A and B are shown apart, each in its own frame.
Chain A
Amino acid sequence: QLQLQESGPGLVKPSETLSLTCTVSGGSISSSSYYWGWIRQPPGKGLEWIGNIYYTGNTYYNPSLKSRVTISVDTSKNQFSLKLSSVTAADTAVYYCARQVAGSRGWFDPWGQGTLVTVSS
């Protein structure tokens, strides 16, 4: 059974870089047909797609965040990572990683448990 788990600091200072890692278990991140994505959800609000990556390193980003986002993959560790630079309080959210099915624009299943990242000094 495929499982995903986010890890990283729960508190980031304004203007600094948020860094999270998603570890995939129960399956290979190098599987064809799947992209690996990041989604976030501010407290009490809806879902926002951040971006995704294929095991080859091909990436797609949400245009609204593109200038600040970098997603990378480490197939040897079965992990992919998110970096979001120049964070502000508006970036406070639960960050989820998920497998994106049916290509770079597909649906998400399964999801990780999510990790709350708070931006505060």
Chain B
Amino acid sequence: DIQMTQSPSSLSASVGDRVTITCRASQGISNYLAWYQQKPGKVPKLLIYAASTLQSGVPSRFSGSGSGTDFTLTISSLQPEDVATYYCQKYNSAPVTFGQGTKLEIK
């Protein structure tokens, strides 16, 4: 199975900072990658699919990029409500798998 590895596992940043989270696939997955945000105690929410397509209703400060094995989720200006754990998910082949998550906190 293709493994998805996120880095860092956790990070702390200040309001207004630009934040980047990386997801690496153990094999190429083209652009078959989604990103989710899970706030504490809440349900995962789809942010991005096809590596860079923003889901309707998601703030434009979120963006995704990458193809092949290396992908990034960027928050252009961190807001307090962005405190959450972020997961990537590959879906080029079965089984779909998730990264281990990146926990984002406010400094």
Residues of A within 8 A of B (CB): 46-49, 60, 62-64, 96, 101-102, 104-114
Cβ of A49 and Cβ of B97 under 8 Å apart? yes
Say whether A47 contacts B87, CB under 8 Å: yes
The residue of chain A having its C-beta at the shortest distance from the C-beta of B96 within the complex is A49
Which 5 residue pairs are nearest across A and B when measured between Cβ atoms? A107-B34, A109-B46, A47-B98, A62-B95, A107-B49
Q: For the complex, give the distance between the alpha carbons of A63 and B1 in Å.
A: 10
Chain A binding surface SS class: loop
CA distance A110 to B55 in the complex (A): 11
Q: Which of B55, B93, B96, B98 contacts A109 (CB 8 A)?
A: B55
Interface residues of B (CB under 8 A from A): 1, 32, 34, 36, 43-46, 49, 55, 87, 89, 91-101
Known pairs A107-B34, A109-B55; A47 contacts B46 (CB<8 A): no
Chain B residue at minimum C-beta to C-beta distance from A113:
B43
- Is A114 a contact partner of B46 (Cβ separation < 8 A)? no
Task: Closest A residue to B95 by CB, please name it.
Answer: A62
* Minimum CB–CB distance for B103 against chain A, Å: 11
Contact of A105 with B44 in the complex, beta carbons under 8 Å: no
Query: Which of these, B44, B87, B95, contacts A96 with CB under 8 Å?
Result: B44
Decide: B43 and A49 in contact? CB cutoff 8 A.
Answer: no
B100:A105 contact, CB within 8 angstroms: no
